[in-house]
């Protein structure tokens, strides 16, 4: 397969991947609504309807972006027209709300420790749609590869940096497989046993978003105990976290394929 064919394949697969994640979440919520889990009056279901509406809008934005993005870098990296300042605490809260129904349906507890006191606030410069995709894929994996127990979504200061942690008590990843999990279409054997439907793209998308925003994405895992993914937004004096002008110049430069962590 040529580089261009591989890029085209990744682009369309990434669209299908993230649209499918959102639609599956919506379907779970709709079934829970039908079963009366959110109440029966409009007032009672209004909050969950709002969450569904937001998820749907994100799907529409993704499809629009796919249609207009001319390159893989824009579709799974940074879209220059989508760059702006946003509050990472709000974004994490939206991811948390979107995944609560899936956690419930999988019999897991999803916890959030995200909007506390932070040394330099929680303003981030970047492409919010892509940052959402990155975090969303990490939370989705944590819920997918945990049979029982808990998943934590945390936002903490580590020194002056702002750090997002996604921790689970799931199946874990063998140390010899850690180097491969960020490669496109790579899945471990253990994950195939848990769920045969994955395509092995979630972490590749997450890595592309992180690297194009200058974020550090890393993983620690113990088989049978759990996994922690860490995303570090480095502190920059007198600037928001995330993208700065020097990084913006790099946007549009092709990513090497296949991507390695």
Ligand X SMILES: Nc1ncnc2c1ncn2[C@@H]1O[C@H](COP(=O)(O)OP(=O)(O)OP(=O)(O)O)[C@@H](O)[C@H]1O
Residue 103 touching ligand X (CB under 6 A): no
Contact region with ligand X (CB under 6 A), list: 44-52, 58-66, 134-142, 249-257:
134-142
Residue 227 touching Mg ion (CB under 5 A): no
- Nearest in space to 239 (alpha carbons), one of 135, 140, 113, 121: 121
- Exactly one of 55, 79, 122, 141 binds ligand X (CB under 6 A); that residue is 141
The entry of Mg ion, ligand X, none that residue 187 binds, CB within 5 to 8 Å by partner kind: ligand X
Residue 242 touching Mg ion (CB under 5 A): no
Angle (CA) 117-142-51 rounded to 5° is 65
- Exactly one of 77, 101, 126, 202 binds Mg ion (CB under 5 A); that residue is 202
CA atoms within 13 A on the CB side of 218: 5
Residue 108 touching ligand X (CB under 6 A): no
Helix 128-144 crosses helix 3-34 at what angle (to 10 degrees)?
70
> Residue 159 — left, alpha, or beta (φ > 0 → left; ψ -120 to 50 → alpha)?
left
Looking at the Cβ atoms of 204 and 241, the one nearer to ligand X is: 204
Contact region with Mg ion (CB under 5 A), list: 37-45, 136-144, 186-194, 238-246:
136-144
| Binding residues for Mg ion restricted to 151-190, rule: CB under 5 A | none
Q: Which residues of 90-115 are buried (b: 16+ CB within 10 A; e: fewer)?
A: ebbbbbbbbbbbbbeebebebebebe
Instruction: State in angstroms the smallest separation of the CB of 203 from Mg ion.
Output: 6
Q: Kindly state the DSSP code that residue 148 receives in the 8-state scheme.
A: S
Helix (H, G, I), strand (E, B) or coil at 184: coil
Instruction: State in angstroms the smallest separation of the CB of 130 from ligand X.
Output: 16
The entry of Mg ion, ligand X, none that residue 101 binds, CB within 5 to 8 Å by partner kind: none
| Binding residues for ligand X restricted to 172-231, rule: CB under 6 A | 172-173, 181, 186-188, 190-191, 198-204, 227
Q: Per DSSP, what are the bridge partners of residue 153?
A: 112, 166
- Beta-carbon contacts of residue 16 (< 8 Å; ≥ 6 apart): 199
Binding mask 156-175 for ligand X (x = CB under 6 A): ------------x-xxxx--
Which parts of this chain interact with Mg ion (CB under 5 A)? 141, 202
């Amino acid at each position: 397969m040529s580089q261009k064919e591989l890029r085209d394949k990744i682009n369309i697969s990434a669209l299908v991947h993230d649209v499918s994640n959102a639609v599956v979440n919506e379907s779970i919520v709709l079934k829970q609504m039908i079963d009366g889990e959110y109440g029966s009056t409009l007032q009672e279901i209004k909050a969950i309807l709002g969450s569904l509406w937001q998820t749907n809008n994100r799907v529409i934005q993704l499809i629009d972006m796919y249609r207009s993005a001319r390159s893989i870098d824009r579709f799974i990296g940074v879209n220059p027209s989508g760059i702006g300042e946003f509050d990472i605490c709000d974004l994490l809260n939206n991811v948390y709300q979107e995944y609560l129904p899936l956690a419930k349906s999988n019999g897991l507890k999803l916890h959030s420790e995200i909007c506390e006191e932070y040394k330099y606030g929680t303003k981030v410069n970047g492409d919010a749609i892509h940052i959402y995709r990155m975090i969303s894929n990490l939370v989705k994996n944590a819920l997918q590869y945990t049979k029982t127990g808990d998943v934590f979504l945390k936002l903490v200061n580590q020194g002056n940096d702002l750090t997002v942690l996604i921790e689970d008590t799931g199946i874990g990843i063998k140390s010899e497989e850690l180097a491969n999990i960020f490669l496109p279409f790579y899945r471990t054997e253990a994950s195939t046993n848990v769920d045969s439907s994955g395509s092995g793209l979630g972490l590749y998308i997450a890595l592309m978003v992180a690297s194009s925003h200058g974020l550090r994405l890393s993983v620690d895992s113990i088989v049978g105990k759990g996994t922690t993914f860490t995303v570090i937004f480095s502190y920059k004096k007198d600037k928001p976290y995330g993208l700065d002008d020097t990084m913006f110049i790099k946007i549009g430069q092709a990513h090497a394929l296949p991507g390695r962590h």
